[in-house]
Amino acid sequence: MFNSELTSIVIPCRNQARFLGESIASALGQSHREIEIIVVDDGSTDETVETARSFSDVWCLSLLGDGLASARNAGLNECNGYYILFLDADDRLLPHAIEEGISCLGEHPECAFAYGHVKLIAIDGSPLPTPRQLAVASNHYVELLRRNFIWTTGAVLYRREALDLVGGFNSAVAASADFDLNARMARRFPVCCTDTTTLEYRRHPNSMSRDYSVMLRSAVTARRLQWKAVKGNRIQESALRAGIRAVQQDYGEKLIEHAGALMRERMWREAAEQLSVLLRYYPRGLARVCSTRPTMVRPPSGGPCL
One digit per residue, the tens of pLDDT, for the chain of length 306 reads 688 899 999 999 999 999 999 999 999 999 999 999 999 999 999 999 999 999 999 999 999 999 999 999 999 999 999 999 999 999 999 999 999 999 999 999 999 999 999 999 999 999 999 999 999 999 999 999 999 999 999 999 999 999 999 999 999 998 999 999 999 999 999 999 999 999 999 998 877 777 899 999 999 999 999 999 999 999 999 999 999 999 999 999 999 999 989 999 999 999 999 999 999 999 988 887 776 554 443 443 444 444
* Rounded-to-integer distance, Cα 81 and Cα 243, Å: 33
Superfamily of domain 3-206: Spore Coat Polysaccharide Biosynthesis Protein SpsA; Chain A (3.90.550.10)
AA letter at 175: A
AA letter at 231: K
What does the pLDDT read at residue 32?
97
What does the pLDDT read at residue 122?
96
Secondary structure in 3-state letters for 241-269: HHHHHHHHHHHHHHHHHHHHHHHHCCCHH
Secondary structure in 3-state letters for 13-73: ECCCHHHHHHHHHHHHCCCCCCEEEEEEEECCCCCHHHHHHCCCCEEEEEECCCCHHHHHH
* Alpha helices (H) in 150-267, listed in sequence order: 160-166, 177-188, 212-224, 227-230, 234-264
Question: How many CA within 13 A on the CB side of residue 82?
Answer: 11
AA letter at 22: E
Question: Nearest 5°: CA angle at 112, between 214 and 145?
Answer: 40
